[in-house]
Amino acid sequence: MTLQPLFVETIPPALQDASDRLILAARSPATLRAYRTDWAAFVAWCDAQGVTALPAQPETVAAWIASRLEQGRKAATLARGVAAVSCAHELAGFESFSRSRIVQDALRGMRRTLGTAATRKTPATVDLLRRMLDVQPDTLIGWRNRALLALGFAGALRRSELVMLEVGDLVPQEDGAL
């Protein structure tokens, strides 16, 4: 897979296949799919408005955020869309607008309008971890679940980090593995 289909006509041809693979590997396949969708939506919106998608002006991105908000998009979807458009700009060699005051204020205004505030998840404590481990069945799936729970807790890993681990990432030690 090359970057060219990722952001249609935005990737400089000088990027080589090897660097394409590394850049793509930095994001999960689900993120890449979402970015493709968001970029296509941005380009289509820009075409309909008669404005340039690449490079886009911060005011264009702010107007796109407002338009998507009026369509009922959620805060996380809008923020991801801005990240996708910003990523496309960076990969095409243009300066990112994501730190632009106009774009940041549009995102803040969107969150205030929607009344969304970040909801923090309750962290797993040692006591909660013990209870989660104790309820696992004594089967292969239960052993797998125990290993994932213990490893994730010990390494303070996010779900995305935990699922990306491979057996080769573990280093055998005398009393376990690192």
Pairs from 160-167 (Cβ < 8 Å, separation ≥ 24): 160/28
Domain end marker among 90, 114, 138: 114
Distance between CA atoms of residues 100 and 77, nearest Å: 19
For the chain, the domain total comes to 2
Together in a domain, 138 and 173: yes
Together in a domain, 24 and 70: yes
Q: How far is CA 58 from CA 8, 33, 37, 77, 107, in A?
A: 20, 24, 20, 18, 12
User: Which pLDDT tens digit goes with each residue over 80-115?
Assistant: 888 899 888 888 888 877 778 998 888 888 888 887
pLDDT confidence tier of residue 4, bands split at 50, 70 and 90: very low
Distance between CA atoms of residues 88 and 82, nearest Å: 10
In a domain, 40, yes or no: yes
Together in a domain, 107 and 161: no
Together in a domain, 103 and 144: no
pLDDT at 142: 95
Distance between CA atoms of residues 165 and 162, nearest Å: 6
Together in a domain, 88 and 144: no
Together in a domain, 71 and 149: no
Together in a domain, 100 and 137: no
Together in a domain, 37 and 108: yes
| Coil vs helix vs strand at 99 | coil
User: Which pLDDT tens digit goes with each residue over 146-160?
Assistant: 999 999 998 888 888
User: Which pLDDT tens digit goes with each residue over 119-135?
Assistant: 667 888 999 999 999 99
Q: How far is CA 157 from CA 83, 148, 163, in A?
A: 23, 10, 10
Contact 107, 78 (CB under 8 A): yes
Together in a domain, 53 and 93: yes
Together in a domain, 78 and 35: yes
User: Which pLDDT tens digit goes with each residue over 28-77?
Assistant: 888 888 899 999 999 999 999 999 888 889 899 999 999 988 888 888 88
Whether residue 1 is predicted with pLDDT greater than 70 in this model: the reply is no
Together in a domain, 22 and 89: yes
DSSP structure class, residue 98 = T
One-letter amino acid of 140: L
Q: How far is CA 121 from CA 118, 124, 147, in A?
A: 9, 9, 22
Angle at CA 97, nearest 5°, toward 96 and 101?
145
pTM of the model: 0.56
In a domain, 105, yes or no: yes
Cis peptide before 13 (omega within 30 of 0): no
Q: Which domain holds residue 104?
A: 17-114
Distance between CA atoms of residues 65 and 137, nearest Å: 47
In a domain, 24, yes or no: yes
Phi, psi torsion values for 138, nearest 5 degrees: -90, 60
Distance between CA atoms of residues 38 and 44, nearest Å: 10
State the CATH number of the domain containing residue 95. Answer: 1.10.150.130
